[in-house]
Structure 1
Amino acid sequence: MVRLLFALCALTAVFATATPATAETAGPAPTQAAHLADRLRENPVHVTDQLPRAVPRSTAPDFARLARKTGVPTYVLVLPSPSVQDGKALLGAVHDRLGRDGLYVLLDDRSVTDAVAYGVHAPADDAWTVQLYELPYDAGVLASFERFVEAVAEGPEKAAARARAARERYEDDEPAPMYVSETDRRNQSFLTGMLLTGVPLLILLTAAYAGRRRRRYAGRSTGLTEPGRHSGHPSGLTEPGKNSGHPSGLTEPGKNSGHPSGLTEPGRNSGRSARRMRLAVVSAAAAAAAAVAVALTATAVFDQTASSPAKPPTPAEMSARVERVAAGLRQDPVYADPESPRVLDTRQQDRLHDRIRAFGRSEGGGPVYVSLVPQPSESEAAGDAELFAAAVHAKLRADGVYVVADPGDGTIDVFNHGLRLDANHLFLDLPESVSLGDRRADEADDHLFGERLDALMTFLDKTPRTDRPNDGFAPAPAPSPAEETALPPLFATDFWPGLGVGAFAALLLSAVLAGVTSLLLRWRKPTPRPAHTLSLTSPTEPSPSYLRRTAQAEISALTREFGASGDTGEGTRAWDCLDAATLLLDGDLDRARRSGTDPATLLAVIVLARAGRAALAGDDNTLCCGVNPLHGPGVRLSHVRVSDAPHDRRLLPVCAWCRDAAIADPLGTPDRLLKLPAPSGGGRVPYYDATDGPLTAVPRGIPRLIDKVRETAGVH
């Protein structure tokens, strides 16, 4: 009997020690798989409550809607990645316990991680490849599942071809991100600020430089004084006979005017002021339009408001897991997450319960609550074990030591809430072999939680007691999910520094452009052509407006070229031409462009101005084409017909073109004569018969025309 009893005891001991070992090898997956199979039996889509920041449970209907498009029974599991050690093995175990054929899909907080078809014809592997390669990493789990479903619905052949094409295209690269980060938004704000000040300011600076360059060139070319300077006269001209001794109002060269001709240009100040005002208005309007365009374009292009496609969770979804764990701890001080692999066998759990009860009975001890729950970053506590323990303590409303053991990464964190334990000892002296584990723990599937939790209880037994309860440190609250993914406004953060950098960049760029422009203008400075080589227009019956425009252009050109030539000698032909033209305009050069000026006077001004420019260019010819003075210099004297009468001829200087035309078509010369409006106001007559003024001297040469002008003006 003794031997029999001893044998029975030995056999019992063998079974007692062998059973836990068997549970360790076969227990974890079936326990997790059984729980998940029960969830799928209730609903073919199970969304964990551990990922509210990325996949709220309210998205389950969206997954169900997409799953129906596959055409086969589809079962969907959304779990945190630390809870899954082997996805395909887990799906196989869930299928065995559920006992239903179909397409089983496993997802984490980002994408489809595994998919297996049981008893149905579905391209699970190719569809998984399609969603992996075609989508960027930040597309989101719902978009990933949608792309997976699209590939499944296409059928095996198309899904295989699509997977092959996606793999070839993105083998060494991946699609561009769909969402921008907070750093990207700061860069966008900085760029917007730069453009918002840089572009308008560059427009204003460029317009100002162009206007200044134009005024400098005009002043350098004409040598004119500004109205009222050095003359004492509002128009910029000296009055006839004042300070000059010249009835035309001209000062001697270089006297009181700063211009070799002694001329100022009256009335140009108002025109320049008007042009400057127009330039300022146009440049300001262009700058304002550019600023508005930059702001609107940036708002349209940088239109994202969130860095993630995740839907904001509700408060109930954020607290669901804490409530579940707290409810479990009310029933048992050791709570193992049913969605995670099992890390404590029955013997280890019993041992841990015994140690917890013993610690509760010890002096200064109390309850110990162990949560074997993963801490993903997308959980309600954002992966903060201390924050999770504080939330469970607040929900449980019981003081004690709260232990958070993560079955995913194998870490163990300890937090004291209301017990008389030395906080510094708990925080500083907890061995790393307990909190982080060692190499053996990293290689083991269960992270050796049984041994490490037993060592933790020994550490708690030896922890010094204090006189009063110690709650440790209050953890900072987790960031709000909406605020965590919300991007800052475009016109904020680095937008303000961008404004300053944009202004500086505009100043720098405008300076560079001005320097380059100056160098190019110096390098490509055109060489002035002699006046007699200019291409001249020559209408036979010019209109008054044409004569006004041409006279204004020619007298301005003569004044400008005279100042640039440095000619200061009175009595030169260029000076005499300029003097005579000024006398015709009564000293008011702007009169040439005003309506009401006699066409004969305008024609005489044109002839004198062109003759003066030719003299400055070194042309000694004093003849002007008598057929049409607008043709320019004459080359010879010739008897030409001036009417249809056979013997009505006049000896006139002719240009080369009129000479050749008279030889080729003598009868056509009267039609080529320049005709001005008749003095009586009806019809047109040849220019030399249109007036008895100085214009009648044109056929006899420029010197005679100058003398005729001075005689008419009473100047000797």
Structure 2
Amino acid sequence: MSTRARRAVITTLAVLALPVLIIGASLVYLFGVPDPNASDGGLRSGTPPTEPPYVADTTRVERVADGLRDLPLYVDPLAEGPRTGLDAVAERVADSDIPVYVAVLHMGGEDESDGEPELFAHALHHVLGEDGIYLVVHPSAYDVQMVAVPFGYALDLTDQYEISSPDLVEPTAAEALMEALDTIEDTPGIVPDGSSPEPDPFLFEEPVPARLPEYLSNMLPALLLGSVLCSLVFGVGLLVRMTARAVSRARSDGEKRPTVPAHPGRRRLERIADEETAALNAAVGQAGPDHPRMPQAMAALDAALLVRAEEPDELDLVGVIVLLRGAREQLDRRSVRPRPVCMNHPLHGSTTEKRRKIPGVGNVYLCADCMNLTKAERERRALRVSDGTSVVPHHTLDRVWVRAQYGVRGAPLAEQVLEELGVH
């Protein structure tokens, strides 16, 4: 039996096992899940409190506040990443004309602020009781996440995360903080005004209910039986169909083809760009003018249309597609920056937080499929575009899309593109 056929059989056996999993999981769910309204003594409470201090527990917040009363920079022992340069940051913060309070922490979904640096900043201000610019930094092995929240000062930091986007492959906490301090010091007219911003309301959205509604509880046996029968019927049919298709394909095509070919060609890229432009236009209309990410979406749309008006080549079309998809993702997820795309083939979509080194480019994000390939296979599947004379890997071209790693490096991608076009 060929590899394809074996995979088809394994897949279908997994489908046939689904009824057992459904029954087992349901029993565990019904009898093993505690009441979500009951207190478990932990830090999390489902959704963060909507009143100050906005966190489920203030133990760590109080510890950080005590540290900041002595020094304006607190580094949690559990924080990831190098400590290099933080001493210089502490000196600069101490000399700042504007009070700045910095906490470098490990943030996770199980902590007191539900993994949200913005909520921790509000809790810290509540406990410390001092006005100033609060910077909460969460360094990881691959990047640095940071929020900057002004309390009592007239400073517009709507795009809080964008203050920490240095043009580096692997920024450190110190480098991100230095750039944040540059932004604060370069902003004129920062004066006390007694303002007290509130956390983003979307941070308090209710989670999906953990249990079935009451009226469905009596229907559960029928639902389970229906799931079992459907899975069995579907699995048998799938076994026959997938095995036949796998054997047939294995004869004529020994390997799986990517959804988007390595060299899509200009016509296909233009069609995808048209589809993505229409999709973003629809998303903009649906989101409405008050959406917090509307400025980024409009900037991306403007940049994309200007690029297409300048007789774009194949790489420009790839960049436009990534730009439009990223803007739509920002509207959907309300994220300040879109997730990175696969640097081996940017049209594969968003990536995991895994990196590999590409010669001449450095450490880059890859999608799960490309990450699991051998070096030779990865090079074969890399996106190739025409440079006017030949077809080359996209990352070998010295263009704004590649230099920015399609939005990973530097300012937001739309800003870099508009600057490249001379639009300010």
TM-score range, shorter chain: 0.3 to 0.5
**Rg larger for:** 1
Return the TM-score normalized by structure 1.
Answer: 0.23
Return the structure number with greater relative CO, CA threshold 8 A, min gap 6.
Answer: 2
Return the TM-score normalized by structure 2.
Answer: 0.37
